[in-house]
Amino acid sequence: MTDPELDAFLRDRRVGVLSIARPGKPPHTSPVWYDYDGSRFRIQVETTSAKARLLAGAGSAAVSFAVQSEVPPYRYAVAYGTATLAPTGDEGLRRRLAHRYFGRLAGNMYVAQEEKRGITGAAVRVIEIAPERFVTHDFRPEAGALGRFYFALYRWLRPVPA
C-alpha cells in the first residue's frame, strides 16, 4: 500500500489485534478498538486488563498491531513498534471510540452502560503505540478487474456474518 492508502485504511472502522511481548511466554494477543491519528495508535483498556498490567509493569513493551479487511480481496497492515501506558484514561477518546464502532446513539448507550458497571474514566488507561515500521499487503491488484467485480458481487450476495 502507498502511504496515503495505508493512512486511509487505518482510519477506517476496523478491529485491530494487539500482541504484547511477554518474557518467557508467547505474546499476549487480543482484539481491540483503536484510534489512529496518522502517527500513533491509541487504545483504551481497563486498568485491570492483562494488557494494562503488562505495560504498567514494564513501562513500555515491543508490540505488533495487525489491522485487516474482513472481506475479499483482502488487505492488511501490521505495525511494529513500542507501546506505553498513559497514567490516566481519556474520556474524549472513550466516547470517540464508542461512536466510531457503534454510531452516536448506540455509542452513548454503551458508555452509559459501562459507567453503570463502574467502568469510568478512572478505571481505564490509554495504550499508545508509536509505529516504527509497517508491513502491508493489498490483494486487490492481484485480483484484477474481473476478480474485484466477482468479490463485490460475492459480498453483496453473501455478506460477512456478524
Question: What would the pLDDT profile of 20-38 be if each residue is shown by its tens digit?
Answer: 988 899 999 999 999 999 9
Query: What pLDDT, on a 0 to 100 scale, did the predictor assign at position 160?
Result: 67
Asked if the model's pLDDT at residue 142 lies above 70, the reply is yes
Cell numbers linked to 24: 518467557
Q: At 149, which helix (H) or strand (E)?
A: helix 140-157
Provide the CB-side half-sphere exposure for 39 (13 A, CA).
Answer: 0
Rounded percentage of the chain residues whose pLDDT exceeds 70:
98
pTM of the model: 0.85
Cell numbers linked to 113: 452502560
Query: Which residue, 58, 57, 30, is CA-closest to 44?
Result: 30
DSSP for 86-99, please give it: -SS--HHHHHHHHH
Query: What pLDDT, on a 0 to 100 scale, did the predictor assign at position 162?
Result: 56
- Backbone φ and ψ for 22, nearest 5 degrees, come out as -130, 130
Please give the domain boundaries of the chain with CATH numbers for all domains: 3-157 (2.30.110.10)
Query: What pLDDT, on a 0 to 100 scale, did the predictor assign at position 74?
Result: 84
Asked if the model's pLDDT at residue 143 lies above 80, the reply is no
67 against 151, higher pLDDT = 67
What is the bridge-based pairing of β-strands 75-85 and 124-138? Answer: antiparallel
Asked if the model's pLDDT at residue 161 lies above 70, the reply is no
Asked if the model's pLDDT at residue 5 lies above 80, the reply is yes
Distance CA 74, CA 70 (A): 7
Length of the chain, in residues: 162
